[in-house]
Amino acid sequence: MRTRDVVVGRIRGSVCCVLFASALIVGGFSNALLGGAPAVETSSGSAEVDEEAEPTDAPVGTLAELMSLVILPTSNALLYAPSRPPEDEAGWLELQGQALTLAEISRSLLDEEWALDDDVWVADTRLMIEAAKTGFEAAKARDLDALLELNEPLYQTCVTCHDDYAVSY
């Protein structure tokens, strides 16, 4: 018990020192920048950056946000294309971009930060990746028949995973 307290104390102490040291480094660094060449302006005009924040590769949104803000609208674009085909070149390019976005965001669901396990999740995600790839190819080929054929399998990729993970959407 005593040993543990000492260890915890040491860890707390060293975390404290690390924070203090990095505050000095960050502070010193930004002072150097402020004192040096006036080169650190962002395009928004405000160069204020949270000095405490470490650069991080952590996800920006939540899984629910990826679903409702990226996966739902991009898959809907593919699902509605057969009944409301793009009217011009720009429309087809937009559809290509939506299919590509769906494919790439689906690929990122395989990353460990999103994957809920390493078997069923992976299999379900791959179904969506394949459907999005098919959609991308169909949009590039301006192939409305292929897009119509994709409708049911694409929709089923959503249902399959939501069933497996008891998502009531």
Q: Interface residues for ligand HEC in 104-133 (CB under 6 A)?
A: 109, 121, 124-125, 128
Whether the CB-CB separation of 129 and 107 falls below 8 Å is answered with yes
Cα–Cα distance for residue pair 107/71, rounded to 1 Å? 12
What is the 8-class DSSP label of residue 66?
I
Asked if residue 169 binds ligand HEC (CB under 6 A), the reply is: yes
Cα–Cα distance for residue pair 131/157, rounded to 1 Å? 8
Asked if residue 64 binds ligand HEC (CB under 6 A), the reply is: yes
Asked if residue 101 binds ligand HEC (CB under 6 A), the reply is: no
Asked if residue 67 binds ligand HEC (CB under 6 A), the reply is: yes
Radius of gyration of the chain from its Cα atoms, rounded to whole angstroms: 24
Whether the CB-CB separation of 86 and 94 falls below 8 Å is answered with yes
Residue with tokens 């915890």: 8
Sign of CA dihedral 61, 158, 136, 82: negative
Asked if residue 14 binds ligand HEC (CB under 6 A), the reply is: no
Task: Name which of 18 and 69 has its Cβ closer to ligand HEC.
Answer: 69
Task: Name which of 14 and 62 has its Cβ closer to ligand HEC.
Answer: 62
Task: Name which of 30 and 162 has its Cβ closer to ligand HEC.
Answer: 162
Task: Name which of 71 and 138 has its Cβ closer to ligand HEC.
Answer: 71
Binding site for ligand HEC (CB under 6 A): 63-64, 67-68, 71-72, 75, 109, 121, 124-125, 128, 157-158, 161-162, 165, 167, 169
